[in-house]
Amino acid sequence: MRAAEIGGKPKDNPWEMALRQFNRAADLLPLKRGIREFLVQPHRELTVNFPVHMDDGTVKVFTGYRVHHSTVLGPTKGGIRYNPHVDLDEVRALAMWMTWKCALMHLPYGGAKGGVACDPSTLSRGELERLTRRYATEISVIIGPARDIPAPDIGTNEQIMAWIMDTFSMHVGHSTPAVVTGKPISIGGSAGRREATGRGVMIVAREAANARGLEFSGSRVAVQGFGNVGAVTAYLMHDQGCRVVAVSDVQGGIYNPDGLDPRAVLGYVKETGGVAGFPGTTGVSNAELLELPCDFLVPAAIEGQITGGNAARIKARIIVEGANGPTTPDADEILQERGVFVIPDILANAGGVIVSYFEWVQDLASFFWSEEEINARLERIMEQSFAGVAALAKEQQIDLRTSALLFAVRRVADALMTRGIYP
């Protein structure tokens, strides 16, 4: 595989990937040139360079970003990632994908994304808190419950969202839980949020199995990226009777054709720090995992992992994109020719933003729902969205990614034309 291992920088530029995907869908819509240009360009971009006191007494300067892609449907929504390879093009692409994801799910949001170029694994808790609070201060001019609502992403978690919420609240002089989602429940987080993305991936995988005439229970599953999304997907699919044959993290992967117990692997990871060496398995690289024989392949790490260089060797029958942008446009063409069923990211991993929306609504109303209610609402939305995208794809004789983008771009364009161009 020519693209980088998970955690590394993809060979393919994510922004160029996002543009190619958009253009393929936009070509099928009667959009005026100016409207098309407006839909594709980010509405607002912020780059900040800020100092942080390190534990050894030095001061280090970090670079962070926050991009608002679209505000047509409502305030913007999107995660914040901490990764050494974060750059503006990556954040732009992720913000655009969030716009289409929110539109596809009929959520009243536009897309946003943020990030800081750093390696959180090398920072102490104190350094991480100081970096987060300073970054939150820098972007506080463009975030807020009615403007832009961040959430966790790669390298960030509930605690980091809590620090951002607290920092923003200190600035405005009152507690503002709705400024972020993915928070701990003790400060306004939602039941079911931690598992939401992985649960959504499991639901659409099950729906895809039904659509393709594949027995879901007993199907073989390989998961690249055993983080929050990948691990939850693995054990929820295992609970449904699927046979999880391989998982991986940034150090590498493990394989057992007879199947693994993902919860046992999670316990091993807590003890050792990684999946490598789990008893009864064979070691594989992240590149090799993608090419293992399986029914479902779940790329749940970073963008640009399935490329024109390895797509012809993919043996999975169905790819369910747990990550954002894991499949390049060149790979999409090869996979479609080979009859591989690809469930695109803006559909497959939308469970996280759906339950983030539920969390935001609960915070604004100060009225909280049970986990059973949340999971039921999530399942209904995911099932309806998959059915709609699959029906349009069949009707138009197009792939699921183009179908999903048609839904999303059309909804944003219709909203823009209904609102009108100011002034």
What SS3 state is found at 144?
A: strand
Give buried/exposed letters for 285-296 (b at 16+ CB in 10 A, else e). ebbbbbbbebbb
Compute the distance between CA of residue 327 and CA of residue 263 in angstroms, rounded to an integer.
27
Smallest CA-to-CA distance from 317 within 208, 404, 399 is with: 208
In the DSSP assignment, the letter for residue 334 is H
Show contacts of 308-311: CB within 8 Å, 24+ apart.
308/334, 309/1, 309/2, 309/3, 310/1, 310/2, 310/3, 311/335, 311/338
Which residue among 11, 113, 183, 315 is the active-site one?
A: 113
Phi, psi at residue 284, to the nearest 5°?
-135, 155
Compute the distance between CA of residue 345 and CA of residue 304 in angstroms, rounded to an integer.
12
Phi, psi at residue 96, to the nearest 5°?
-65, -45
List, in order, residues 6 or more apart from 261 with CB less than 8 Å away.
238
Compute the distance between CA of residue 352 and CA of residue 150 in angstroms, rounded to an integer.
12
Q: Alpha-carbon torsion 216, 222, 224, 225, what sign?
A: positive
Q: Kind of pairing, strands 110-116 and 148-152? A: unpaired
Q: What is the CA radius of gyration of the chain?
A: 20
Compute the distance between CA of residue 191 and CA of residue 358 in angstroms, rounded to an integer.
10
Q: Token match 């709705």: residue?
A: 178
In the DSSP assignment, the letter for residue 214 is -
113 is annotated as an active-site residue: yes
Half-sphere exposure of 151 toward its Cβ, with a 13 Å CA cutoff?
A: 27
Compute the distance between CA of residue 70 and CA of residue 80 in angstroms, rounded to an integer.
17
Q: Give the active site residues.
A: 113
